[in-house]
A and B are shown apart, each in its own frame.
Chain A
């Protein structure tokens, strides 16, 4: 009998005591799990970059925060107090006095208590307050606006821009760099890592978004380009240029059929195209020869190229512009209208400004822009000639990440620009309207300023709350909504994966083609192949691999060009370089030189050695993308990248054994071995640190995921189900106000877990229970993925869960609330109309205290009182009731005050606790995508048992395995059993075993040592008869998750209930006690089975059964009329005969009218001698006699009562309104 005799051989590996200790006494310096701070770093660092000093030498970044760079880029606005008419007496050109306005400085403060509050001793505001008070975590933003008066004298004023949401744990957050112990003191979890914003009590974050790689020219081949206009072709090259302040402009160079090229850019959501020659000339005033040589690069034999360059040059002749100034003049003239630049600027200045701001904005000097444009042209012609292929924009090689902080900064920049524009338009409107405008009067300016809405804070809060981007320029992004998501704290796995998820873009979600969703080999190590949802966002919503980083700071690379030149690179300014023999060397989209392929190769190798060894100040995060020469492959060159927002990941460089960081661009041309065993001499350049690094955090947490079928969706499913598990959402549950929280009360640490389980603090937030699982078909209740639970296990607390729900009572929203906040008319409490004691004691006192608030722990059923308030105007007490269907307990009551803490209590937040013990119909799953529904809770005595008396907690059916091939679950079962017997935390990291050293043998040995069968089988006995089963049973320990989909939230049942007023059919929706649609396919099934009674029952009797009168003569359903014959029949009309009616006085209005008309006509026909045709209905429906319920004697109104669906009557009425008569034939 198994007795665990091998136990003494092993040492416990669960670290239970150490964890307990660190939970009781969180570290006072640093964090319990430091890696958590690392993995959200891109969020926080990118936010910090808005304010922070980068600490880099000049030339590498500006040394100031991005917001200051934004201010620099915004520049100034110029306002004139003249009308602009030259004939007026005001100054030069009639513009009058010149005033320059600009923003000098922007500051964002940490969240603080408003000055109005005089009582608070702690002036800082912490995120928990915002969370619990359902407000936002914000700090004050101020800008310094400067302007000049008529004499050029500078003035300034500070302007408040409202409260700006602050990212938690960023430099502007009061939790910045707090230790775990301090975090706990401030009501956070010890593992709190921030990276999100608190908006109205919700935690929201800006999701990573994939963007085209910045400052790199990609060639595109898109048939849709031909639709842009006549002579456009499918060929283009594109570059997304990013300014130092992280705003970007995309320039596209289109190839035209005539061999020339057009440059396209977007200005305020409007697209413009300019001939490339115009730009080339405008930039440096290049002569035709210079352009010819620059594109040809001595490749004179290449007639393809020379023909096109010739055409390019010739086609520009018709513009008759020869010098750069002429081109600038021309550009400025054409674009003057839209640019909104100072009116006194010359056309040339405006043209220069346009080129500076819109074309290749990542480089400053026109010469660099010129060189880059030539490069783009060469690449374009190369694409057209087929010398190089088109780049795949869906490949991570050509992608980078939109960082949350950068986007935030872009929005702030645009809002600041708006402020300046509004100031300008306000003053100009005053000038136009002839109001007194005095540039020397400070009061006038301040008055004009006060009319401008400067509330940037509320706009940012709105952006974060909705995810909608309201922008005049579109920020060079492809979408305008869906930027932010709620960081749901459903459980720890879901929570942390929010911070690692990366979206391809909302635009691609609507695309019919699925190529963007494809998993590309280039994504290896950067995007997890496993962790993506199935269904509509599949492949678009990805998660970063575990070791993937995002570079958030610019690197010091100013010295790199000189360094490369010293090692053999030809300088960029060198004239006459042979383009056939030289590769272009670029640094962040700037041509820094040329090199022969062998030298380029050498330079790349040198750089890699220098950067891995930290020599010559080459930064480690520099990406060295050497694209070698190939026939029809990617356009060759040596491309260096040092900017932010790139994905990078650590690998080991084999040449010197050092750590290297590689990016997706260079990785394509590398040979990275997955394991040290796979290194091929002279081929492999790198090796992975861990074989599992290509998986995301969640995918890494699936035990033995390598044993599950290679391309099976099971590991994908587990990544989804892990996120839907009822686990431990938070350890600071007392300070959470989430709408709904699921909590597993009896969570355990899994016996079988991958190494990363500890690394990512999974034990601090347990997600499931170690269950004894028998794989057996026992009673039939485990068919089709159902599972049987042990009732005794359930009674002892297996998978016992709780749901926490929030209810907010805000007296401001109640009826009778006064508008003013200063003196509310509603107050929490019990009024004098409530007897507090004695016989007539009010029943509300069972739940409420005298303050009108519920008792903690009060048990509530639907309709119980949850709060009481007194209305001053009526003096009566009103109640708020609990409206859930389930029994709830009051868990917490929060009194929510105002920001300054100076107003009366008007709002409370009640946390209700709803117990959810597992019931039949609840969903469970193992960690291998094996989900199932509890079908039965079987008493322990009836459960099968093993010789040692073990009874399974869970019985699952063997049929769950053959088709799904989740061998990982079988291995987990064995490993769990052995681990439980020996007290071992089993390492379930994938790729640890091999064909020679198999997992089965490893755990089999352990099992035998514990006295079990080698393969984990055990003879078992029927609990009912005691007889041994004919087969031995696979039984072991598997970690089971309880999923949040519970039958109590889903069951829907109805006998009778509300119906739709129009159709009289049952309404839909669980909430409204509606029915479940019996749809077309269901109908088809019944027809196919010939179950006509059922068919009628579903579609007629249980739906909109109705009876209706139908006229036998005309067949009309809708022509019923009644004569009141209760007092005897009446003789109407001059005919003097009795009108025929049914026994109830009913008659057909159509037929009676027709009869009367006929009578009339006959009378007339008789007079004139003509014959008549009776009118015929155009639609006829036959109704069989068995549906006729009430056959009335034919002599009366000739009406019958038939049973028809009510909608049919409705249809008849609607058709009648369109002039179509429906006629029923009653047989």
Chain B
């Protein structure tokens, strides 16, 4: 996968419907893809009925049950995070705020990476139907040697929403949310007086060396707040602190805007294919 390293992340939409989008995310690493999945499921603000005052209840259903059921109704929540200040929530608070009904996620349909083992009784081909996504990839030849350095880099997503947000919006908001989270993280890391301490820790632990980190090259910290750290700091810590920062970080001034580059695959700036090489061992 060395050849993919310099490639830019790609998104290819295979199908876009009213309630679902099917796309292939390429040239990102697994952690990023999973982060996107998690953010789309749990961190996108939507609107839902949260408080119900019942005057009289003549039904056979108890009050709190009706209130709960009302809360489950998906309400159209487009741009609710900008338009509404209070009455919105995210799925981390309650599942009713999740805009996604399901996010399907797959990589490596042929199991070339051997992350898993397919158990079978007699016949692996007969018992394990290939997924649709297998068409996107080349079937391994029988004599193909196992590439133990290979990393997953092509992720098949299908985001199905409950109708509160459009699928496109979910993905865009998800990306933006991810961006915001990382920005906040970086901001938090940079702003305090404990910089030196962090920096010391990092260097002592030997995680810092910029030399073995191919990602450092692209990381130029142009964020205005970054006044103190010009050497070593950003490059050494940010990959291990959650990744996602990139050279184009400052080119997107409004994290929630999402930009118009959706689906073109030209949306540069999401590149940390080797983030995992530094591990998450803070």
Contact = CB atoms under 8 A, between A and B. Distances in A.
B148 to A, nearest CB: 15
B38 A1031 contact: no
Contact of B118 (A889, A1019, A1026): A1019
Contacts of B34: 1021, 1025-1027
Looking at chain A's contact residues, is the secondary structure mostly helix, strand, loop, or mixed? Answer: loop
13 contacts: A792-B95, A797-B69, A802-B62, A856-B57, A941-B42, A947-B106, A1008-B129, A1013-B128, A1014-B126, A1014-B128, A1019-B111, A1019-B118, A1030-B117
Contacts of B106: 1, 947
Contacts of B127: 1004, 1008, 1013-1015
A940 interface: yes
B129 A1011 contact: yes
A1127 B128 CA distance: 98
A1032 interface: yes
Given A796-B96, A1026-B34, A913 B91 contact: no
Given A913-B62, A1011-B129, A1027-B115, 4 more contacts: A797-B69, A940-B42, A1013-B128, A1028-B107
Interface stretch (B97-105, B192-200, B233-241): B97-105
A949 B129 contact: no
A733 B60 contact: yes
Which residue among A3, A889, A1027 has the maximum number of chain B CB atoms within 10 Å of its CB? A1027
A941 to B, nearest CB: 4
Contacts of A950: 102
**Top 9 A-B residue pairs of the complex, sorted by shortest distance between their CB atoms:** A1026-B34, A949-B102, A792-B95, A949-B104, A795-B95, A1028-B115, A1014-B127, A947-B106, A941-B38
B95 A796 contact: yes
A791 interface: yes
A95 interface: no
A857 B65 CA distance: 12
B54 interface: yes
Nearest to B69: A797
Interface in B216-237: none
Nearest to A1034: B119
Contacts of B115: 1027-1030
A835 interface: no
B104 A948 contact: yes
Interface in B31-46: 31, 33-35, 37-38, 41-42
Interface string A1018-1057: 0101010111111110000000000000000000000000
Contact of A857 (B54, B94, B118): B54
Contacts of A792: 91, 95, 98
Interface in A722-739: 733-734
Contacts of B30: 1025-1027
Interface residues of A, number: 46
Given A792-B98, A857-B57, A1026-B31, A949 B72 contact: no
Given A889-B64, A945-B105, A1027-B30, A1032 B118 contact: yes
A429 B194 CA distance: 107
A484 B132 CA distance: 63
Contacts, number: 120
A745 interface: yes
B273 to A, nearest CB: 14
A1012 interface: yes
Interface in B66-104: 68-69, 72, 91-92, 94-96, 98, 102-104
A939 B97 CA distance: 13
Interface string B115-134: 11111010000111101110
A1031 B117 contact: yes
A795 B92 CA distance: 11
Looking at chain B's contact residues, is the secondary structure mostly helix, strand, loop, or mixed? Answer: mixed
Contacts of A1032: 116-119
A945 B30 CA distance: 15
A1028 B116 contact: yes
Contacts of A1015: 119, 121, 127
A1004 B129 CA distance: 12
Interface residues of B, number: 48
B130 to A, nearest CB: 9
B95 A889 contact: no
A923 B232 CA distance: 54
B95 A940 contact: yes
Nearest to B40: A941
Contacts of A54: none
Contacts of B62: 745, 802, 889, 891, 913
A748 interface: no
A1059 B249 CA distance: 67
B63 interface: yes
A915 interface: yes
Interface string A527-547: 000000000000000000000
A1027 B115 CA distance: 8
Contacts of B128: 1013-1014
Nearest to A796: B95
B177 interface: no
A1017 interface: yes
A950 B65 CA distance: 26
Contacts of A1023: 38
Contacts of B98: 792, 940
A949 B116 contact: no
Nearest to A950: B102
A981 to B, nearest CB: 13
A1014 B126 CA distance: 8
A949 B31 contact: no
Contacts of B72: 796-797
Nearest to A1019: B116
Interface string B171-196: 00000000000000000000000000
A797 B119 CA distance: 34
A889 B63 contact: yes
Nearest to B127: A1014
A945 B158 CA distance: 13
Contacts of A947: 104-106, 131
A915 B103 CA distance: 32
Contacts of B91: 792, 940-941
A1027 B41 CA distance: 17
B199 to A, nearest CB: 27
Contacts of A733: 60
B250 to A, nearest CB: 28
A1015 B120 CA distance: 8
Contacts of A913: 62
B68 A797 contact: yes
Nearest to B100: A949
